[in-house]
């Protein structure tokens, strides 16, 4: 009987406990006492109704997105003109960055939200204080922001002049390279950065590349000849850019020009004729006389570099004994070494039959004038079948090589 009695007492204790628990629950549900139960967040029990003033529950406040400017350092001085602004943000997608000068004018720039960077779209001014403001929306609808200031470097004494051969408003031929020149040699380690800061925009769009002709000259050409009647805009943003040995770019510049109709001249030594095509159609065939064997014309692709309706060819400085001074009409230079297309009335009887020139492309007086009136600087002339090949660099020889070969002269790989 002992085990049974113990089991009975256990069941009795369980029953009593259950009754007490039920009493507590009933009391909590029905009591009108001001005492609040400690469960359910201190609120009323199930089925109870309370007004807003009786509720003690509160929603957690949203965490603020913190922002900070990390570079340039606060109150930094001697900051370079193309320095990026770096910042931290817990909400990059909604972060705004504003840079203003001492007069409060906003500086143009672009924001890389993935990299937390602001980059200037144009060079900053020498010796100028700037304010950076980085902000994100805050929980109360206001801006959560951070500000910092920095001052750019003073204008240095060593500045490199950067110039464009072409100017605004010019109309040039389809073979015209864009030519930039520098006032001092640019070390190789800086040339890639220089190229990155020289941008070319053509309308319609056309692929192209820069090529370094020397340490002080760089050209740009498209993959094929410029499309006729294109618009070309290029920007050179080198003010304040390091150009080696303590030297900096002096200024920025832009050029806006137009490409004219397509005019291509083709000279064949076998036929002693020049074929002139405009926009793909033959408009004239001209008898020519090229360089004799002792002074051959160069075979290759060249462009018209300069034009003079009337000039004098003087070679006496180079060759006092056999040099000559000769008045020339309708001259169009195609090489640095002195090869021209020009009128030569003294060789009109030989034109189309024999080569008697000193390397130039001789045409008649009348056809020389006609051709002179048709051409633009940058128009293309290709000569073939002569004893001598054109040497690259003897003029604007940008088209005397394949595009793949041309690209090798760029430092952007």
**Structural domains in the chain?**
67-152 (2.60.40.3780), 159-260 (2.60.40.3710), 263-400 (2.40.440.10)
Strands annotated E in 153-197: 159-160, 162-164, 171-172, 178-182
The answer on pLDDT for 352 being more than 70 is yes
What pLDDT score was predicted for residue 137? Answer: 83
Confidence of residue 3 (pLDDT cuts 50, 70, 90): very low
Is residue 360 part of the annotated active site? The answer reads: yes
Catalytic-labelled residue, pool 219, 310, 358, 360 = 360
The answer on pLDDT for 135 being more than 50 is yes
Confidence of residue 90 (pLDDT cuts 50, 70, 90): confident
Identify any residues that bridge with 291 across adjacent strands, giving them in sequence order: 357
* Three-state SS at 348: coil
Confidence of residue 138 (pLDDT cuts 50, 70, 90): confident
What pLDDT score was predicted for residue 55? Answer: 45
- The 10 Å Cβ neighbour count of residue 71 is 16
Tokens of 14: 């369980």
- Beta strand 361-363 with 340-343: parallel, antiparallel or unpaired? parallel
Q: Integer distance in angstroms from the first to the last C-alpha of the chain?
A: 99
d(Cα 161, Cα 253) in Å, to the nearest integer?
11
d(Cα 198, Cα 63) in Å, to the nearest integer?
45
What pLDDT score was predicted for residue 413? Answer: 82
The answer on pLDDT for 9 being more than 50 is no
287 touches 273 (CB < 8 A):
yes
How much is the mean pLDDT over the chain?
87
pLDDT (tens digit, 9 = 90+) per residue, 260-294? Answer: 999 999 999 999 999 999 999 999 999 999 999 99
At residue 193, what are phi and psi to the nearest 5 degrees? Answer: -65, -35
Is residue 342 part of the annotated active site? The answer reads: yes
Catalytic-labelled residue, pool 30, 219, 310, 342 = 342
pLDDT (tens digit, 9 = 90+) per residue, 210-239? Answer: 999 999 999 999 999 999 999 999 999 999
Confidence of residue 7 (pLDDT cuts 50, 70, 90): very low
What pLDDT score was predicted for residue 58? Answer: 54
The answer on pLDDT for 390 being more than 50 is yes
Q: Taking residues 155-175, report their average pLDDT.
A: 97
Which residues does 321 contact at the CB level (< 8 Å), separation at least 6? none
Q: What is the DSSP string of 357-369?
A: BSSSEEE-HHHHH
User: Considering the chain, what percentage of its residues have pLDDT values greater than 90?
Assistant: 77
- Tokens 């020389």, located at residue: 368
d(Cα 253, Cα 198) in Å, to the nearest integer?
10
Of 3-12, 184-193, 356-365, which range is least confident?
3-12
Q: Taking residues 159-167, report their average pLDDT.
A: 97
171 touches 226 (CB < 8 A):
no
What pLDDT score was predicted for residue 323? Answer: 78
pLDDT (tens digit, 9 = 90+) per residue, 291-336? Answer: 999 999 999 999 999 999 999 998 888 788 877 889 999 999 999 9
What pLDDT score was predicted for residue 49? Answer: 42
The answer on pLDDT for 37 being more than 60 is no
- Which residue in 412, 6, 71, 28 sits closest to 209, CA to CA? 412
Confidence of residue 22 (pLDDT cuts 50, 70, 90): very low
Of 23-27, 384-388, 407-411, which range is least confident?
23-27
Confidence of residue 140 (pLDDT cuts 50, 70, 90): low
Range with the largest mean pLDDT of 58-72, 142-156, 183-197: 183-197
- Which contacts of 342-346 are long-range, i.e. CB under 8 A and separated by 24 or more positions? 342/368, 343/367, 343/368, 343/369, 344/289, 344/368
Confidence of residue 106 (pLDDT cuts 50, 70, 90): very high
pLDDT (tens digit, 9 = 90+) per residue, 38-84? Answer: 333 334 443 444 444 444 555 554 455 689 999 999 999 999 999 99
Angle at 190 between CA 189 and CA 192, to 5 degrees: 95
d(Cα 163, Cα 165) in Å, to the nearest integer?
7
d(Cα 128, Cα 412) in Å, to the nearest integer?
32
């Amino acid at each position: 009987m002992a085990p049974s009695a113990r089991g009975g007492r256990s069941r009795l204790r369980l029953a009593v406990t259950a009754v007490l628990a039920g009493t507590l629950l009933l009391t909590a549900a029905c009591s009108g006492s001001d005492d609040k139960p400690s469960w359910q967040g201190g609120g009323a029990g199930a089925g109870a109704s309370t007004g807003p003033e009786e509720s003690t529950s509160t929603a957690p406040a949203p965490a603020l997105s913190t922002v900070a400017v990390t570079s340039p350092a606060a109150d930094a001085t001697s900051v370079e003109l193309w320095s990026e602004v770096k910042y931290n943000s817990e909400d990059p997608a909604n972060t705004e960055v504003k840079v203003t000068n001492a007069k409060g004018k906003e500086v143009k720039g672009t924001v890389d939200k993935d990299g937390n960077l602001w980059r200037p779209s144009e060079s900053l001014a020498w010796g100028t204080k700037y304010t950076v403001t980085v902000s994100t929306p805050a929980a109360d609808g206001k801006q959560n922001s951070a500000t910092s200031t920095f001052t750019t470097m003073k204008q240095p004494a060593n500045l490199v002049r950067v110039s464009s051969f072409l100017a605004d408003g010019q109309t040039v031929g389809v073979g015209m390279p864009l030519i930039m020149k520098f006032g001092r040699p640019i070390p190789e380690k800086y040339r890639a950065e220089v190229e990155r800061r020289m941008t070319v925009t053509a309308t319609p769009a056309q692929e192209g590349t820069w090529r370094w002709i020397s340490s002080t000259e760089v050209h740009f050409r498209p993959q094929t000849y410029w499309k006729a009647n294109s618009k070309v805009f290029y920007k050179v943003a080198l003010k304040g850019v390091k150009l080696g040995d303590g030297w900096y770019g002096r200024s920025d510049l832009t050029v806006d020009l137009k490409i004219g109709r397509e005019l291509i001249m083709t000279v064949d030594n076998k036929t002693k004729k020049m074929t002139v095509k405009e926009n793909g159609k033959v408009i004239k065939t001209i008898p020519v006389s090229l360089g004799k064997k002792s002074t051959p014309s160069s075979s290759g692709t060249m462009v018209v570099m300069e034009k003079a309706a009337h000039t004098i060819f003087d070679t006496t400085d180079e060759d006092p004994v056999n040099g000559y001074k000769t008045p020339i009409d309708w001259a169009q230079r195609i090489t640095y070494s002195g090869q021209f297309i020009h009128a030569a009335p003294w060789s009109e009887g030989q034109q189309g039959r024999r080569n008697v020139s000193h390397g130039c492309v001789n045409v008649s007086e009348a056809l020389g004038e006609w051709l002179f009136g048709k051409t633009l600087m940058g128009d293309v002339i290709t000569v073939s079948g002569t004893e001598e090949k054109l040497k690259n660099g003897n003029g604007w020889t940008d088209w005397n090589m394949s595009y793949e070969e041309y690209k090798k002269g760029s430092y952007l790989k």
